[in-house]
Structure 1
Amino acid sequence: MKVKVLSRNPDDYVRETKLDIQRVPRNYDPTLHPFEVCREYTRALNATKLERVFAKPFVASLDGHRDGVNCMAKHPKSLSTFLSGACDGEVKVWNLPKRECLYTFQAHEGFVRGITVRFCGTSFFTVGDDKTIKQWKMEVPGYGEAVEPLSTVLGKTVFTGLDHHHRDGLFATCGQQVDIWDEQRSSPIRSFSWGVDSFSSVRFNKVQTELLASCASDRSIVLYDMREAAPLKKVIMTMVSNTLCWNPMEAYHFTSCNEDYNLYTYDMRNLHKPLMVHEDHVSAVLDVDYSPTGAEFASASFDKTIRIFPKNEGHSREVYHTQRMQHAISIKWSADNRYILSGSDEMNIRLWKANASEKLGVLPPRERDVTNYRKKLTEKFKHFPQIRRIAHHRHLPKAIYNQAKELKEMKAARRRKERNIRLHSKPGTIPILSEKQKHTVSVVS
């Protein structure tokens, strides 16, 4: 004879408290809860308001530089190590958890134009206005030990950008041309030029590591393959791009920051128009860096703000600013996807939370469950007008608010003028161009 026995786990019925309070089973049949949607909407509205109340993104500042912070670099193996270079030629190595400088040394005469860490993290390279490339060891020097470069290469012209290969002992510099260097040699193993006066930045692809891209002074973005003898493609835009960053999760996508206040995400397989135009800044965008997940990127601008953009949206989800922060020159997203570091003109490095309302530290299980529940509710009701208004509202400095309002009026006037010209012209003579098509002049292969 077969006997069936009911078996129940007591953990399913006892709450996570010291008292033996019995958990009440609940029937989720919607017919039994006619007011559930109303209750969830109210909870979502309260969760959205609380998120804005607790949105305090600023974490700390790293003081110590005596001039503007011109460039920064992350350590590929250590979350706590961070490097920065200033306009007076000084380089600092920081310990982020302790918020203190490990050591400082004079690396160059004049600006430090670029700084990058070797893929294994044992050393790093710097370039400056004194036409030199220097390699330094990452270890903290001993007491009384002078900081001397491991190697020095003297170039013919000023170097304006630097980036290291993500797998091999190679690095790239840019100036009057783009050079590929081997760490063991004092002369470049390959040079690329395409009728351009100078280049402002160069970046290796993090997935397809043989690919790299650079921003040139003739308003172009040039793509290269180290296995080829000549550059691959060049896209010419209406204004100059300052720098770019490859998406770490999508090998063929990159985002460039431009002097026309916008950022442009391109697919290198089709450069005739960008995938997305990211607006909101009211001055030139100077630097951009992707998050490790590739879903978002942060930008630093001359308008004294930094913004966080989702990769598939045209407007920013966050804008960070302080009363004392001046022109933001450089920006980096930490490798754990939780923090953003920005360097600005007034000699300061600031540490921000990537999620402004995130609570730092270890959360108890019940608090973590409540946080996840609120996040799901706000995501469910995010398109409701009142919730959308509260979630998108940001307080801006008066100057930026007025300038954004003026830019909006200027764009509306241009659209109105174009519409009137088309209305009084022969049909077909004035083509209708989308916002994505307006900023790309030509593509040269």
Structure 2
Amino acid sequence: MKVKVISRSTDEFTRERSQDLQRVFRNFDPSLRTQEKAVEYVRALNAAKLDKIFARPFIGAMDGHRDSIKCMAKNPNYLKAIFSGSDDGDIRLWDLASRRTVCRFPGQQGAVQGLTVSTDGSVLVSCGSDCTVRLWNVPDANLADLDSLSDNSAKTKTNSIAWNPMEPMNFTAANEDCNCYSYDARKLDEAKCVHKDHVSAVMDIDFSPTGREFVTGSYDRTVRIFQYIGGHSQEVYHTKRMQRVFCVKYSCDGSYVISGSDDTNLRLWKAKASEQLGVVLPREKKKQEYLEAVKNRYKHLPEVKRIVRHRHLPKPIYKAANLRRTMIEAERRKEQRRKAHSAPGSIVTESIRKRRIIKEVE
């Protein structure tokens, strides 16, 4: 007769203090854990539901502007600093931690259409509807006095502006005349046209520092976060009072999203809606990583996929999406009926049209 005895050292499994964690012995042999997949599936389902329950992405609003906020810019030297410009020409520097205005940049006449900061974080460039491009000294940590370095009169209204990371003294501005002009910060009077094919514009889009997600703001009063290679939005942010969103930015560390809208408010959101703010213990962090891994493992199953993809949308957006879906379906049925009741070759489809264009080019 064989007798199996479990032998464990008392010193290894006895807690020295009452605050210590109780050590638990687990045997991960697959033959002894026949319900492993079923248990993990239930954990993935519960984790997806808990993410929806604890999703509180909105952190707070920053009020101070008196008109619509049209543009924002990040300071590469400070993670918690962001610049914003509005239609009344007001340019402000905000502290995201305290959600208050640090300083203001007076002097821009008309709407501010674009902001950008130099790669070293010392110079702020603004452009607007007054056909001027202005440079400002960015205050350091002790909030030194602000000085307008210089300005330049453009031929037409400037809509957006961006600093060149490869050339520290150059930045490019896009004007209403469908051209892009390159400027040297030391010679603002000399503008060089570098692009003549610009025919349209987008509201705003910004990539995360990792490059795996990007955030968009639109006229439908929502802020959406997309995977770089994904189709549907993984997060949709909105509030009852938020109006049309004109500008969005990721924070420098990728943990937060800032949006500027038509209701004169800057809003601070979490990049991950259900992420826990504050100090997280190592044991809690390991548990969150495990639940995230389980969700990714079973995300293709119907029930988990339905919960993860579900989003609560405002009623106008929900109705507009249904109407758009109905219109697309009606157009598809109409095209199918035209093909069925027409002579062969009389209707030029999109694929045939593309093949004809390729042959003409060749």
Question: In 2 relative to 1, CA 141–49 (structure 1 residues): closer, same or farther, beyond 3 Å?
Answer: closer
Aligned partner of 2:199 in structure 1 is 216
Query: Shift in Å at residue 11 of structure 1?
Result: 11
Q: Does 1:338 align with 2:338?
A: no
Structure 1 residue corresponding to 2:287, chosen from 344, 352, 370: 370
What whole-Å deviation, never above 9, does each CA across 1:20-68 have from its counterpart, x for those lacking one? 6663432222111111111111111111111100001001111100001
Aligned partner of 2:193 in structure 1 is 191
Matches within 5 A, 1:112-261: 112-139=112-139, 147-168=146-167, 169-175=169-175, 176=177, 177-192=179-194, 194=196, 215-217=198-200, 242-243=201-202
Stretch deviating more after TM superposition (135-144 or 349-358)? 135-144
Matches within 5 A, 1:33-112: 33-112=33-112
Matches within 5 A, 1:314-329: 314-329=231-246
Q: Distance in 2 between matches of 1:14 and 1:429?
A: 85
Query: Shift in Å at residue 327 of structure 1?
Result: 0.3
Aligned partner of 1:238 in structure 2 is none
Contact 1:108 1:129 in 2 (8 A): no
Structure 2 residue corresponding to 1:308, chosen from 225, 230, 242: 225
For residue 186 of structure 1, give the secondary structure of its aligned residue in structure 2. Answer: strand
Relative to the length of structure 2, the TM-score reads 0.87
Q: Give the superposed CA RMSD.
A: 2.7
Unaligned runs of 5+ in 1: 1-7, 197-214, 218-241, 244-285, 438-443
Query: Shift in Å at residue 339 of structure 1?
Result: 0.7
Look up the equivalent residue of 2:186 and give its one-letter code: Q
Q: Distance in 2 between matches of 1:30 and 1:312?
A: 35
Structure exhibiting the larger radius of gyration computed from Cα positions: 2
Q: Distance in 1 between matches of 2:231 and 2:138?
A: 39
Query: Shift in Å at residue 17 of structure 1?
Result: 7.2
Matches within 5 A, 1:413-432: 413-428=330-345, 430=347
Look up the equivalent residue of 1:181 and give its one-letter code: Y
For residue 188 of structure 1, give the secondary structure of its aligned residue in structure 2. Answer: strand
Relative to the length of structure 1, the TM-score reads 0.72
Q: Which has the higher helix share?
A: 2
Query: Shift in Å at residue 186 of structure 1?
Result: 2.6
Look up the equivalent residue of 2:188 and give its one-letter code: S
Structure 2 residue corresponding to 1:411, chosen from 328, 344, 349: 328
Residues matched between the structures, number: 343
Q: Share of identical aligned residues, percent?
A: 41
Q: Distance in 1 between matches of 2:62 and 2:251?
A: 15
Aligned partner of 1:295 in structure 2 is 212
Query: Shift in Å at residue 381 of structure 1?
Result: 1.2
Unaligned runs of 5+ in 2: 1-7, 355-360
Q: Distance in 2 between matches of 1:20 and 1:313?
A: 44
Question: In 2 relative to 1, CA 383–189 (structure 1 residues): closer, same or farther, beyond 3 Å?
Answer: same
Query: Shift in Å at residue 367 of structure 1?
Result: 0.8
Q: Distance in 2 between matches of 1:143 and 1:44?
A: 49
Question: In 2 relative to 1, CA 15–53 (structure 1 residues): closer, same or farther, beyond 3 Å?
Answer: farther
What whole-Å deviation, never above 9, does each CA across 1:407-444 have from its counterpart, x for those lacking one? 0101111111122222233445545548xx9xxxxxx9
Query: Shift in Å at residue 362 of structure 1?
Result: 1.5
Question: In 2 relative to 1, CA 31–189 (structure 1 residues): closer, same or farther, beyond 3 Å?
Answer: same
Q: Distance in 2 between matches of 1:408 and 1:143?
A: 53
For residue 233 of structure 2, give the secondary structure of its aligned residue in structure 1. Answer: coil
Look up the equivalent residue of 1:159 and give its one-letter code: T
For residue 173 of structure 1, give the secondary structure of its aligned residue in structure 2. Answer: strand
What whole-Å deviation, never above 9, does each CA across 1:292-346 have from its counterpart, x for those lacking one? 1111111101011111111112221111100000000111111211111000000
Q: Distance in 2 between matches of 1:123 and 1:21?
A: 53
